[in-house]
Amino acid sequence: MTGRSAPAAAAAAAPEERGGTRTTDPLARPAVERADPRLMIDDVLAQPAHLRDALDLLDEVELPRGEFPGGLVVCGVGGSGLAGDVTAAIIGPRARRPIQTVRGYRPQPWVDPGTFVFCPSYSGNTDITLEYLTAAHAAGAAVVGLTSGGRLAEFAGRQGLPLVRVPAGFQPRAVTSYSIVTALRCAAAAGAGPDLRGEVAEAADFLDELVREWGPESPADSLAKSLARDLHGTAVVAYGSGPTAAVAHRWKTQLNETGKHLAFSSEVLEADHHELCVWDHLDEPARWSALFLEDRVDQHPRAVRRMELTAELIAGTGAPTRWISARGETRTQRLLSLVLLADFVSVYTAALSGVDPSEIALISRLNQLIG
């Protein structure tokens, strides 16, 4: 679990001035900004705008057309890889061909001219994505890239590959929305799923409402702020099932990278056959939290029942549990609502710990060592 210094803790808990009155909200904007000098909170607030901007950018890119019986492969790591998982979850039962996410250097043996490959790398210098893209292109696959620059942009320019150029200057995880929208459009171009441009636009409008409900100007007891306070000081396991499994992984990675918080993710149907045993043997169960991500519209009823029973059993061990329901009318709205909530909670968790949500010193060091 992440610790913090006494001064940072005191600063995060200090009352704030608001309209001549004092408030004890430790997650009011001034308190968040003290731990967040590069204002990642504003990047979270901008997610609806990112969705709209991505739609506009893609209107200017000519994607490959043709027959792609191999479906869509998304090669990426971090937020880029998550985009493939979320895309598959959003399309769900509407998929007409395979949609797969790959986190590795080498294409599968079946990647060929009948496969559509999307390779997002925000920096353009991710060695995993670059090597996969180069090999997939050599195998004759239809390849589309996404980046803010770097070697990926240079390679795409030399080879005449379609490229989505996204704005520079962000942390990669802060602009995952661009990769999700592009992956959805690539799925449509590959014949792997329907064209969901209208659904994405509606989701952007819906997220505007949630930004107001969960943002730093929201009440101290808003869902995002109360979740951050509940999770603070505990290790977290985020559980999903079916379409929410991909979003559970987003909760884990955002709490890790943004919140500097020990967190894991798991799928209930699998975890019930082994991982569940661990909860009954923790030395300090109160120092762990279990989150359950629910979408009753899209999850199998028996899967939901398993989640309910699993939550009851874990709560019985003395570990805190929280049940989080997806919001929205469409599948896209519901899953993106859970993504947005994870991003708010991770920034708020960092603020409570007095750590900079943008700092990634060890990741940067590893990338330097890899070269």
| % of the chain residues with pLDDT over 70 | 94
Q: Are 151 and 125 in contact (CB under 8 A)?
A: yes
- Residue ranges of the alpha helices (H) in the chain? 6-13, 29-35, 40-45, 47-58, 79-91, 127-138, 150-159, 176-189, 197-214, 223-231, 244-257, 268-271, 276-279, 301-316, 331-353, 361-370
Say yes or no: 335 and 255 in one domain: yes
Q: What is the side-by-side order of every strand in the sheet holding 116-120?
A: 99-102, 72-75, 116-120, 142-147, 163-165
Which stretch of 1-10, 49-58, 275-284 has the lowest confidence by average pLDDT? Answer: 1-10
User: Does 27 fall in a domain?
Assistant: no
Give the pLDDT confidence score for residue 23 in this predicted structure: 58
Q: Are 55 and 198 in contact (CB under 8 A)?
A: no
What is the residue whose two structure tokens read 């989150």? 291
3-state secondary structure of 256: helix
User: Does 130 fall in a domain?
Assistant: yes
Give the pLDDT confidence score for residue 24 in this predicted structure: 81
Q: What is the side-by-side order of every strand in the sheet holding 235-240?
A: 263-267, 235-240, 288-294, 321-325
Give the pLDDT confidence score for residue 2 in this predicted structure: 33
Give the pLDDT confidence score for residue 255 in this predicted structure: 98
Say yes or no: 122 and 185 in one domain: yes
| Mean pLDDT within 288-300 | 97
User: Does 54 fall in a domain?
Assistant: yes
Say yes or no: 168 and 54 in one domain: yes
Say yes or no: 130 and 257 in one domain: no
What is the tens place of the pLDDT at every residue in 20-43? Answer: 445 589 999 999 999 999 999 999
User: Does 16 fall in a domain?
Assistant: no
Say yes or no: 130 and 237 in one domain: no
User: Does 145 fall in a domain?
Assistant: yes
User: Does 324 fall in a domain?
Assistant: yes
pTM: 0.92
Say yes or no: 257 and 318 in one domain: yes
Which stretch of 80-94, 205-219, 290-304, 356-370 has the lowest confidence by average pLDDT? Answer: 356-370
pLDDT category of residue 370 using cuts at 50, 70 and 90 = confident
Say yes or no: 264 and 140 in one domain: no
The number of folded domains in the chain is 2
Say yes or no: 178 and 251 in one domain: no
Please identify, among 132, 162, 195, the residue that sits at the C-terminal boundary of a domain.
Answer: 195
User: Does 37 fall in a domain?
Assistant: no
Q: How many residues does the chain have?
A: 371
Torsion sign across C-alpha atoms 215, 217, 223, 227: positive
Q: Which of 4 and 175 is assigned the larger pLDDT? A: 175
Around 44, how many Cα atoms within 13 Å sit in the side-chain half-sphere? 30
- The domain that holds 76 is classified in CATH as 3.40.50.10490
Please identify, among 195, 228, 253, the residue that sits at the C-terminal boundary of a domain.
Answer: 195
Say yes or no: 73 and 182 in one domain: yes
Give yes or no for residue 10 having a pLDDT over 70. Answer: no
Give yes or no for residue 6 having a pLDDT over 90. Answer: no
Q: How far apart are CA 349 and CA 347, in angstroms?
A: 5
Say yes or no: 67 and 129 in one domain: yes
Q: How far apart are CA 120 and CA 51, in angstroms?
A: 16
Q: Are 95 and 192 in contact (CB under 8 A)?
A: yes
Which stretch of 1-15, 34-48, 125-139, 156-170 has the lowest confidence by average pLDDT? Answer: 1-15
Say yes or no: 86 and 222 in one domain: no
Domain that holds residue 156: 47-195
Say yes or no: 161 and 66 in one domain: yes
Q: How far apart are CA 207 and CA 177, in angstroms?
A: 12
pLDDT category of residue 367 using cuts at 50, 70 and 90 = confident
What is the tens place of the pLDDT at every residue in 43-72? Answer: 999 999 999 999 999 999 999 998 999 999
User: Does 32 fall in a domain?
Assistant: no
Give yes or no for residue 310 having a pLDDT over 90. Answer: yes
Q: Are 339 and 346 in contact (CB under 8 A)?
A: no
